Chain A
């Protein structure tokens, strides 16, 4: 937690303006040609150009400023106003940049490094989670900042894996206030990202979020990223908002191909058909990143990590698997299958299949979670 937050006058009034509940566009208009304090006074007097109907006048009471400032101090949230010195330069140039930005952690990690957004569905398959983790780990190892929405599923898998790499910063952009209550798992993730980088939000502490904020914040993710990687997404979903925002900014959109039968890959596969860059592994993403940051001053191109030798722990001593194990391995494929399916495909009794799965998992040739099984290795 930032030990003590003391806000400048501009930041105090900026935070107060954000707490009026206006959308990001209106908020920008509030601060066009006005300093934060001037804008606040104008709204309170009912003479602000951007608020001709005086919709926000009733909320612009004097003690609202202190309330927001106190909430920021309480939860250690820093405030950045567009155009001020502390505002992240990487975001400031964007035409839809948030007029007021709240953060915890260290925002300076955004600068000087390539940034990749790894996004995807919350209800990902083991395949999607595995790929997201692999990409997160690999990108962090190459010195790339992994930007994501800090949602569970693909976002979490990528960011948790990236956090596991020493000294690799990650950035999460929330669709809620930074101190909003969340599930325990989500809180833990948020705290981990704050310690290993920065968490951003457009919503002041203590304020309620609305559903549309999640779609709106995706433009911030797209604005921050040099490359967007969609790991898995359904035919509709928040990831596609990020993609649309990225395309509008000319940011490279890449997608991880998935099974044509998997509903969780329906969105990504369609992106590929529509011309997104396919990526199979970290190397593919890094190539896209190199192209994207080439010629941009001040960005260190990603370092290629040592040739990865597959997933760690793959080459363990293999106890000679029985004949059943071979048949069961043939019955597995890379999509998760239920025990039922494997039993039917292999034609072996349940006991035999169970033993074979046990041996294959031990040997690193099969993966399993919560009753679903898939094949590992080639």
Chain B
């Protein structure tokens, strides 16, 4: 008469455990779902009925009440179809309750009785307690990363019922072969000719977790370079990989083709993207946005100046706090968002402003273009460099630079030094840590003082320069930050002044 089936629903990127209670009693035939269901859950009645009938199982012509407990939590998505169907079978005495003891279910049903994957399997499975968790066969490999041996795949309701009754064995989980952490990145730095300064900046950005701004004329290779950053970052740790998996799964985005993510993700949203698409949110259920999908990886914003100002300003909090707090009437969630921001832009609307004397944009147009970038956002870029088109000699068989693998090895070495300071990367060093755990040579201090006195450097800028200089010292393998590292750090943020002053070059 009564069955209670453990399941879960998605809240942001986390799963919340839900108990699906099904009660079948005498009375007029009917089907009611209570407990804050959304439209997708309410529609599940029709899917469940058709799926059961297609699987040669009976539909009780009695009064059915489904309660989704706790009733205060909003339930979203079609993942509750399967637990409702199973609960119905148990409550209608089609399936003995002993068969489902300690078993959780999640999955969407098709009218033909098939069990379909739903977004957020990784998080949902983590929220379900019990000895076994039945998940759609298509998402089983993803669930295994989180729940291991507890996972049972199901491709149709009929098969599932047979397996639950012990009449047939559980099908094997189709494991994706590509789980080795050494899978090669798609793009290699070997392809980039010339651009010595830009390559160096990329390496420093990867080693220290510094945000990077590339300013340059069209065709100078900004996009090509930026897309290679993910390839030189260290492989994800297991914890990071799980976070990445959960976020991508919750957003309904396939990550590394169903394999366990080992490489940092790269997200490159188009500048037409809305604020919600970038930071997360949404009407039906709160989805992670692009900045969360880039968590532990790289967010690449091409044509930074074309993004709406509201979108750019929304980036400021996540850049500081490494998470985004999405607050809506329907609920509040915090999405993780710790990424390296790489942005590319033209120096002016005509794109030729890089080379002095080549640009024909008038001053007002240039100012209007640059005013879209707020100073607080520009402040958050530790590295800002100007790129120009590569030389002909470089394009036609100049000496190739280091490969991604070589650079990645140096980056990993520098990151280990940062670990020794107690942070993931140097960009995360707080000001007091910077003072305590690093030393400046007297010449380096003198150089910084000169810049501070001349007004070319602000207090915030000072700390940013020091962090970058520290990363450079780590990469160079020197124990102390010297004048050379500071000079380079200052040099690699020079493009900032173009944007801040907005001046004619």
Q: Which residues of A contact B (CB under 8 A)?
A: 121-128, 152-153, 183, 185-186, 232, 234, 262-265, 336, 338-341, 343-344, 349-355, 357-358, 369-372
Whether B359 pairs with A340 at a CB distance below 8 angstroms is no
Determine if B497 is an interface residue (Cβ-Cβ < 8 Å): yes
Q: Specify which of B359, B360, B394, B476 lies most central, judged by the most chain A CB atoms within 10 Å of its CB.
A: B360
Interface residues of B in 350-366 (CB under 8 A from A): 354-364
**Chain A min CB distance to B362 (Å):** 7
Contacts of A354 in B (CB 8 A): 484, 487-488, 490-492
Binary contact readout B34-72 vs A (1 if CB under 8 angstroms, 0 otherwise): 000000000000000000000000000000000000000
Is the pair A263, B367 in contact by a Cβ cutoff of 8 Å? no
When distances are taken between beta carbons in the complex, the residues of chain B under 8 Å from A124 are 356-357, 504
Q: Which chain B residue lies CB-closest to A126?
A: B356
User: A370–B495 contact, CB under 8 A?
Assistant: yes
Name the contact of B358 in the complex, choosing from A152, A263, A357 (C-beta under 8 A): A263
Interface string of B463-505 (1 = CB under 8 A from A): 0000000001000100000011101101110110110010111
A157 to B, closest residue via Cβ: B504
| Contact (Cβ within 8 A) B357 A128 | yes
Query: Chain A residues with Cβ under 8 A from B361's Cβ?
Result: 123
- Residue of B198, B360, B364, B488 most packed against chain A (CB within 10 A): B488
Which single residue of chain A is at the shortest CB-CB distance from B359? A123
Q: How many cross-chain pairs have Cβ atoms below 8 Å apart between A and B? A: 115
* CB of B246, distance to nearest CB on chain A (Å): 39
Could you say which interface size class chain B belongs to? 35 or more
Residue with the highest number of chain B CB atoms closer than 10 Å, among A153, A349, A351, A355: A351
CA of A264 to CA of B491 in the docked complex: distance in angstroms?
26
How far does the alpha carbon of A349 sit from the alpha carbon of B478 in the complex, in Å? Answer: 15
- Residue pairs across A and B with Cβ atoms less than 8 A apart, 22 shown, are A123-B356, A124-B357, A124-B504, A125-B356, A126-B356, A183-B367, A232-B357, A336-B356, A338-B354, A338-B386, A338-B388, A340-B195, A340-B198, A343-B197, A344-B394, A350-B200, A354-B492, A355-B488, A358-B490, A369-B505, A370-B494, A372-B505
Q: Is the CB of B362 within 8 A of A264?
A: no
Cα A139 to Cα B387 in complex, Å, equals 38
CB contacts (< 8 Å) of A121 on chain B: these are 357
Instruction: Tell me which residues across on chain A come within 8 A of B504, comparing CB atoms.
Output: 122-124, 152-153
Chain B hits for A349, CB < 8 A: 200
**With A125-B357, A340-B197 in contact, do A355 and B363 touch (Cβ < 8 Å)?**
no
* Cβ B387 vs Cβ A370 within 8 A: no
Contact between B385 and A371, CB atoms less than 8 A apart: yes
Interface: B194 (CB within 8 A): yes
Contact A152 B363 (CB under 8 A): yes
Q: A123-B360, A339-B491, A355-B487 are in contact. Are A370 and B196 (CB under 8 A)?
A: no
Tell me whether B196 and A358 are in contact (CB under 8 A): no
Name the B residues within 8 Å of A336 (CB-CB): 355-356
The reply to whether A351 and B485 contact each other, CB–CB distance below 8 Å, is: yes
Contact check, A262 vs B491: say whether CB atoms are below 8 A apart: no
Please report the C-alpha to C-alpha distance between residue A185 and residue B504 in the assembled complex, in whole angstroms: 11
A126 to B487, CA, bound (A): 22
Residues from chain B with a CB closer than 8 A to the CB of A339 are 197, 385-386, 491, 494
* Bound: A234/B360 CA distance, A: 9
With A354-B492, A355-B488, A357-B491 known, 19 other A-B pairs at CB within 8 A are A124-B504, A262-B357, A265-B357, A339-B385, A339-B491, A340-B196, A343-B196, A343-B197, A344-B194, A350-B488, A351-B476, A351-B488, A353-B491, A358-B447, A358-B487, A370-B495, A370-B501, A371-B494, A372-B386
Which residues of B pack against A, CB within 8 Å? 194-198, 200, 354-364, 367, 385-388, 391, 394, 447, 472, 476, 483-485, 487-488, 490-492, 494-495, 497-498, 501, 503-505
Contacts of A352 in B (CB 8 A): 484
Residues on B with beta carbons closer than 8 Å to the beta carbon of A153: 504
Residue of A262, A340, A355 with most chain B CB atoms under a 10 A cut-off: A340
**Interfacial chain A residues near B492, Cβ < 8 Å:** 350, 354
A262 CA / B357 CA spacing, docked (Å): 7
List chain A residues, Cβ under 8 A from B488. 350-351, 354-355
**With A and B bound together, what is the CA distance between A264 and B447 in angstroms?**
34
Instruction: Report the Cα distance A355→B130, complex, angstroms.
Output: 63
Residue of B nearest to A335 (CB): B356
Q: Which A-chain residue is minimally distant from B393 (CB atoms)? A: A344
**Cβ of A264 and Cβ of B358 under 8 Å apart?**
yes
Given A183-B364, A350-B197, A351-B472, residue A357 in contact with residue B357 (CB < 8 A): no
If A340-B387, A355-B488, A358-B447 touch, whether A123 touches B197 (CB-CB below 8 Å) is: no
Chain A residue contacts of B195, Cβ below 8 A = 340
Q: Which residues of A contact B498 (CB under 8 A)?
A: 370-371
A342 to nearest B CB, angstroms?
Answer: 9
CB proximity of A255 to chain B, nearest CB, Å: 15
- A340 touching B447, Cβ below 8 Å: no
Nearest-neighbour CB distance to chain B for A359, whole angstroms, equals: 8
**B residues near A262, Cβ cutoff 8 Å:** 357
- B482 CB to closest chain A CB (Å) equals 9
On chain A, the residues within 8 Å of B385 by CB distance are 339, 371
| B357 in contact with A344 (CB, 8 Å) | no
Residue of A nearest to B368 (CB): A183
Tell me, in angstroms, the Cα distance from A195 to B472 when the chains sit together.
50
A128 to B196, CA, bound (A): 29
A contact residues around B503 at 8 Å (CB): 370
Q: Measured between alpha carbons, how far is A344 from B395 in the docked complex, in Å? A: 14
A372 to chain B, nearest CB (A): 6
Q: From residue B406, how far is it (CB to closest CB) to chain A in Å?
A: 15
Q: Which residues of B contact A372 (CB under 8 A)?
A: 356, 386, 505
Instruction: For residue A159, give the distance in angstroms from its CB to the closest CB of chain B.
Output: 15
Complex: A263 Cα to B358 Cα, angstroms: 6
Of listed A185, A262, A354, residue having the most chain B CB within 10 A = A354
Which 10 residue pairs of A and B lie closest in terms of their CB atoms, listed nearest first? Answer: A264-B357, A354-B491, A125-B357, A125-B356, A354-B487, A354-B488, A351-B488, A371-B386, A355-B487, A371-B494
User: Would A351 and B484 count as touching, CB distance under 8 A?
Assistant: yes
Contact A350 B357 (CB under 8 A): no
Closest to A370 in B: B498
Chain B residues with CB under 8 Å of A343's CB are: 196-197
What is the CB-to-nearest-CB distance from A241 to chain B, in angstroms, rounded to a whole number?
A: 16
B217 to chain A, nearest CB (A): 11
**Chain B nearest CB: distance from A367 CB in Å?**
12
Instruction: Report the minimum CB–CB distance from B450 to chain A (whole Å).
Output: 8
Q: Whole-angstrom distance from the CB of A58 to the nearest CB of chain B? A: 33
Q: How far is the CA of A123 from the CA of B387 in the complex (A)?
A: 19
List chain B residues, Cβ under 8 A from A232: 357
Contacts of B200 in A (CB 8 A): 349-350
Give the CA-CA distance A161 to B36 in the complex, in Å: 73
A126, A263, A350, A357: residue with the most chain B Cβ atoms closer than 10 Å? A350
Min CB distance A114 to B, Å, is 29
Residue with the highest number of chain A CB atoms closer than 10 Å, among B357, B367, B391, B484: B357
Residues from chain B with Cβ under 8 Å of A265 in the complex: 357
A340–B362 alpha-carbon span in the complex (Å): 27
Q: Chain A nearest CB: distance from B273 CB in Å?
A: 29
> In the bound complex, what is the Cα–Cα distance between A186 and B363 (angstroms)?
10
Docked-complex contact B357 and A371, CB < 8 angstroms: no
Report A-chain residues with C-beta under 8 Å of the C-beta of B367.
Answer: 183
Residue of A nearest to B348 (CB): A123
Cα A194 to Cα B111 with chains together (Å): 82
CB distance from A245 to the nearest CB of B (A): 22
B495 contacts which chain A residues (CB < 8 A)?
Answer: 370-371
Residue numbers in A under 8 Å from B355 (CB-CB)? 336
Q: Min CB distance, B25 to chain A, in Å?
A: 77
A370 and B194: CB pair below 8 A? no
Measured between beta carbons, the chain A residues less than 8 angstroms from B501 are: 370
Distance of B33 from chain A, by nearest CB (Å):
63
Asked whether A263 lies within 8 Å of B196 as measured between CB atoms, the reply is no
Q: Which residue of A lies closest to B497 (CB)?
A: A370
